Amino acid sequence: MSLNAADMTKALIAFDTTSRGSNLALIDFAQGLIEQAGGRCRRSYDATGAKANLFATFGPDGDGGIVLSGHTDVVPVDGQDWSGDPFDAVIRDGKLFGRGACDMKGFLGVALSLLPQIAAANLKRPLHLALSYDEEVGCVGVTGLLDDLKQQNIKPALAIIGEPTLMKIVGAHKGGAKLVTHCCGREGHSSAPEKGANAVMMAGEFVALLDSVWDELRADPDARFDPPHSTVQANVIGGGTAVNILAKDADVTWEYRCLPDRDPQRILARVAQRATDEILPKYRARAAEAAFQTRLHAQYPGLKMDADSPAVLLARELTGANQVEAVAYGTEAGHFQAYGIPAVICGPGSIEQAHRPDEFVALSELMACEKFLRKVIAKASA
């Protein structure tokens, strides 16, 4: 099958790869195309076997290859007001609309559309494609892919992660984590609140504390980022059973996004210490079992700026960019860097469109990405 970039992107969007489900149908589709073009494929799976990473190689075996990397999963469409079917992509006014159009099936669509060119190239060094699962829930899948490469002693020279950057060169991003803090209280009648510990009230105070910690982080900025400081915030909260019952349990789901040159453990330690010192004494005076229990659900490292890394230098050479940017959102690039593979981010579309209803990527962006990746193929052939 040979499709142009837009049609290949539409074909990928047609697979509902929302993170809560499987991505195997898309992986099967991509692997079939890659193997037809002569690529050599490896898979690594999650614990359930319902999700897989795909790592494909063209050209010679050995070290020094270039990785083109992207995630296959997308965020949910639940509750969003789409003008059409999010998984039946359409083109209007020079834009391709569909869930994942920019984040990031556009990049994968361009890469897969170039399989005939990759197959025909006289590659002097390996050219790899990496398709991962569960990036949208904390960059979970790529760690298994990288572990597999390490076990197989596969050592790429660099990785290009095709997250939407409007084809600008991004060399740094924040690290982050998803955490859930369980507030443990004691049930009782709401007419006597001081004879129990209301976990929902504990949760409210904990949320306020997170906002206060965020204020502290503003004093340590890095002007390359927007916002220029690390951030902490709660995004989901739930608990309690009835209006006249003191809540025994409540959960606060929160995140930090930490500047890549800062230690995120200091944020976690600060939150824990302040919660213990400032909130718990009041509730433990009423119920000795009152407590905060925090679980780390997902974590990804930041990408530290290295203007002289081979990934950044190659991207600048091929695009002619004079500037290397930094972004607040997270990607899998930090994991590649942490595994010793220099990484850079450059892909079609705008992050402003990601996760929104009527997500789109401009066809001009797909064309610019295709031009860039053709240069990558030529570079691997030189």
List, by residue number, the catalytic residues: 73, 135
Give the pairing of strands 231-239 and 249-258: antiparallel
What does the H/E/C string look like for the chain?
CCCCHHHHHHHHHCCCCECCCCCHHHHHHHHHHHHHCCCEEEEEECCCCCCEEEEEEECCCCCCCEEEEEECCECCCCCCCCCCCCCCCEEECCEEECCCHHHHHHHHHHHHHCHHHHHHCCCCCCEEEEEECCCCCCCCHHHHHHHHHHHCCCCCCEEEECCCCCCCCEEEECEEEEEEEEEECECCECCCHHHCECHHHHHHHHHHHHHHHHHHHCCCCCCCCCCCCCEEEEEEEEECCCCCECCCEEEEEEEEEECCCCCHHHHHHHHHHHHHHHHHHHHHCCCCCCEEEEEEEEEECCECCCCCCHHHHHHHHHHCCCCCEEECCCCCHHHHHHCCCCEEECCCCCHHHCCCCCCEEEHHHHHHHHHHHHHHHHHHHC
Other beta carbons within 10 Å of 32: 12
User: How far is 102 from 359, CA to CA, in rounded Å?
Assistant: 7
